[in-house]
Structure 1
Amino acid sequence: MARVCLEDITRRFAGVTAIDQITFEVPDGQFWVLVGPSGCGKSTILRTIAGLETATSGKLYIGDRLVNQVPARQRDVAMVFQNYALYPHMTVAENLAFGLKMRGGDTKTARSRIESVARSLDIAHLLDRKPRQLSGGQQQRVALGRAIAREPQVFLLDEPLSNLDAQLRDDTRAELKQLHQRLGITTIYVTHDQVEAMTLADQIVVLNRGRIQQIGDPQTIYAQPTNQMVATFLGSPPMNILPATYDGVQFQLMDGQTIPCPEGFQHVLRSAQGQRFNLGIRPEHLHVVPEPAHLMVVATVVEPLGREILIRTALPDQDPMQSPVINIQVEPTLRPAVGERLSIQLALDHLFVFDPTTGDRIMEPL
């Protein structure tokens, strides 16, 4: 096991910068998740660590060793891909043993390790089967087992659960977390799935357009996003964003409705009268109330989810294509009709203010 340290890593392809001055350090034994929209550079970072891509500039360390010029096979990392990459002509046992065989070593020790890994992943009964005889979930476990059997210093996972159905993905995600807790191998995991990121990570690296937006533990990133991109990417449903103009006392929305400006914000915004901002507030911090409150909205979609109901709303008397979508999470006892008007109370102590041009956070909850 070893730390992984990236110092100003940049990778360019034919004039296109895929990742730009990426710097972070994963301590020995931790589980870090790289997350972001498609094309943000997360897989390029993983492939650069693995040695499948070469950094254009910067330094990459595994442990205390600078590995920029070290071939992939000598970096002592194991990578699991989205498509499993199992050898179809080999049995499960042979697939598990392949990495050990390539490295040489005692056959008896290798057999013992394979049996141990197979038991831990509940695939011991499948050792004589070929990949085509396995389900998708079983194939994924074999791919994980092949990497684990090598006992690498670093474990790299590139969207390993994306091909699984929802229930199997949930089960395998829990198994992955338990496996890491048991083995303690330094792990870097790439996903676009925010649920995987939030539930698996010791630390999350949020990326966008090849640059790091924020690094932090899941709860900190959720509660204190550094900008609007992070705020809307992590959280399901995402944070509501309401364009508004500040008049010196309150925020005025596009339809003329107003939201009070918390007193703690006013001293920062005192010179911003007439300026436009994006207000951010999460769905769980909006409440449907019987009497007139901060906002009046109209229900456009009602989605029963069992333990709660998600109501998608818009500002009344506005073109639905122009109005911001306002998501509200409510108790299952409340089920409004589509088109019904609702009075909404905002928890103003959970309000964010973002710069609409840069997306930077100007104010965070008090």
Structure 2
Amino acid sequence: MAKVRLERITRQFVRSNATRETSNAGIADITFEVPDGAFWVLVGPSGCGKSTILRTIAGLEAATSGDLYIGDRLVNQIPARQRDVAMVFQNYALYPHMTVAENLAFGLQMRRVDAKATQERVETVAQMLAIDHLLDRKPGQLSGGQQQRVALGRAIARQPQVFLLDEPLSNLDAQLRDETRAELKRLHQQVGITTIYVTHDQVEAMTLADQIVVLDQGRIQQIGAPQTIYAQPANRMIATFLGSPPMNILSAVYDGTAFQINGQTVPCSELLRDHLQPIAGRLYDLGVRPEHVHITPDTGHLTVEISVVEPLGREVAVRANVPATERSPQQAIAFQCHPTQCPHVGDRLLLGLDFDQLFAFDRETGDTVYPSKQ
């Protein structure tokens, strides 16, 4: 095991060899340290730079500036094959002409581990991943989930200092992805190797990570424990990215005591009022998660019109619109309800919001105004 430390890592991509013009892609000023044995997840939308960071750690791409350490060793100038990391790719990258056993053994053979030790390690890893009955098969004879286990097994067999996983579950169907995600967590608890995992799936990030690094446009937005980031997002981007379904964002006018949303008055808790500028007419983006929105015909404050109803068995996912006014376009809001409350498309309902669970974001910068960091 080894810690991984990035200090002000920047990677610029060149768009044109003729003009040497750099694009907005890449990463800038990336700094964090993953402790020995930790499981960290890099998460963010497509193009945010998470795979670039992983490939830079692996040595597959070179940083434009900054320092990268694996353990206490500066590895900027050390080639990928000498960094003692194992990477699992999205496409598995198995050798189709080799059996499962040969794929598992390949990395050990390249490192000239003796045949007896190689066989013992292959058998141990195969049993750990429940693929010991597949050792004589070739990748083309395996299911997607089995191929994924072989790819993980090949990395585990090497016993590297660091695991790097680049969206390894994205090619699996939903049920298999859930099962494999649980298996990954169990495996990490068992082998304890420092792991950095890249995904755009916020469910994977929340369930797997000791710590999450949220990225957007090549820069770190926030680092923290999953539940901390969920409860105290640093900005609107993070708040809407983490959570399924995502947080609702409603444009609201603060009048000093309450919010006006498309002409409708939504009360404001005293704690939230203490964090808002007492300027009449100040615009905020008001955030509320779907689980904090309820159908409350007698005590609600927000009238909406139902647009989509999606029965999900034990609950119903509902999408609705806050009606437009002369000055404000209609605004969308999503929530869940019990099947016994299931509305119909076109119904007008009164919704209640959990006022103690509201978020407020600066309209211009997107920064979180409330709740503030503890």
TM over 0.5, yes or no? yes
Q: Which amino acid aligns with 1:88?
A: P
Q: Give 5+ residue unaligned stretches, structure 1.
A: none
* Alignment partners' CA distance in 2, 1:273 and 1:140: 57
C-alpha displacement of 1:245: 1.1
Residue 310 (str. 1) matches residue 317 (str. 2): yes
Query: 2:58, 2:280 → 1: CA distance?
Result: 51
Structure 2 residue matching 1:89: 3-state secondary structure: coil
TM-score scaled to structure 2, two decimals?
A: 0.95
Aligned to 1:73: 81
Match of 1:28 among 33, 36, 49: 36
Equivalence for 1:162: 170
| Structure 1 counterpart of 2:309, one-letter code | V
CA–CA separation in structure 1 for the residues paired with 2:158 and 2:240:
39
* Partner of residue 289, structure 2: 282
User: Do the aligned partners of 2:48 and 2:218 also contact (CA within 8 Å) in 1?
Assistant: yes
User: C-alpha separation between the residues in 2 aligned to 1:248 and 1:318?
Assistant: 21
Q: CA deviation at 1:318?
A: 6.2
State the number of aligned residues: 364
Report the secondary structure of 1:140's partner residue: helix
Which residue number corresponds to residue 196 of structure 1? 204
Give distance in 2, aligned partners of 1:356 and 1:310: 28
Q: Which of 159, 175, 180 is the aligned partner of 1:172?
A: 180
Q: Say which SS state the counterpart of residue 340 (structure 2) adopts.
A: coil
Structure 2 Cα separation of the partners of residues 342 and 55 of structure 1: 54
2:11 is matched with 11
In structure 2, relative to structure 1, the CA distance for the partners of 1:247 and 1:331 (3 Å cut) is: same
CA distance in 2, matches of 1:123, 1:348: 51
SS at match of 2:104: helix
Pairing 1:286-365 to 2, within 5 Å after superposition: 286-316=293-323, 322-364=329-371
Counterpart amino acid of residue 370 in structure 2: M
Whole-angstrom distance in 2 between the partners of 1:37 and 1:323? 26
Contact kept, 8 Å, 2:92 with 2:168, in 1: the verdict is: yes
Compute the displacement of 1:237 (Å).
Answer: 0.6
* Structure 1 runs, 4 residues or longer, greater than 6 Å off: none
Alignment of 1:98-113 (within 5 A): 98-113=106-121
Q: CA deviation at 1:184?
A: 0.3
Deviations 1:286-306 (A, max 9, x none): 111121521111111111112
CA distance in 1, matches of 2:349, 2:323: 10
| Aligned-pair CA distance for 1:323 | 2.2
CA distance in 1, matches of 2:219, 2:114: 44
Q: 1:210 aligns with which of 210, 218, 235?
A: 218
Distance 1:289 1:260 in 2: 15
The letter for the 2-side match of 1:354 is F
Q: Distance in 2 between matches of 1:288 and 1:138?
A: 45
Q: Aligned-residue CA RMSD in angstroms? A: 1.5
Alignment partners' CA distance in 2, 1:268 and 1:166: 41
- Inter-partner Cα distance in structure 2 for 1:178 and 1:333: 38
CA contact (8 A) 2:37 2:192 kept: yes
Note the C-alpha offset of 1:268: 3.4
**Residues 51 and 248 of structure 1: is their aligned pair in 2 closer, same or farther, counting only changes over 3 Å?**
same
**SS at 2:56 equivalent:** helix
SS at match of 1:61: strand
- Distance in 2 of aligned mates of 1:92 and 1:177: 23
Partner SS state of residue 364, structure 2: coil
1:177-216 CA deviation, whole Å, 9 max, x = no partner? 1000000010000000111111100011000000001111
Name the CA distance, whole Å, in 2 between partners of 1:267 and 1:170.
42
- Counterpart contact for 2:254–2:279, Cα < 8 Å: yes
Which residues of structure 2 form unaligned runs of 5+? 15-21
The within-5 A match list for 1:93-132 is 93-132=101-140
- Cα 1:270–1:101 shift into 2, 3 Å: closer
Q: What SS does the corresponding residue of 2:45 show, helix, strand or coil?
A: coil
Residues 328-337 or 351-360, more deviating: 328-337
Task: Tell me if 1:57 matches 2:65.
Answer: yes
| TM-superposed deviation, 1:260 | 1.5
CA distance in 1, matches of 2:277, 2:29: 36
In structure 1, the partner of 2:154 is 146
Work out the percentage of aligned pairs sharing the same amino acid: 70
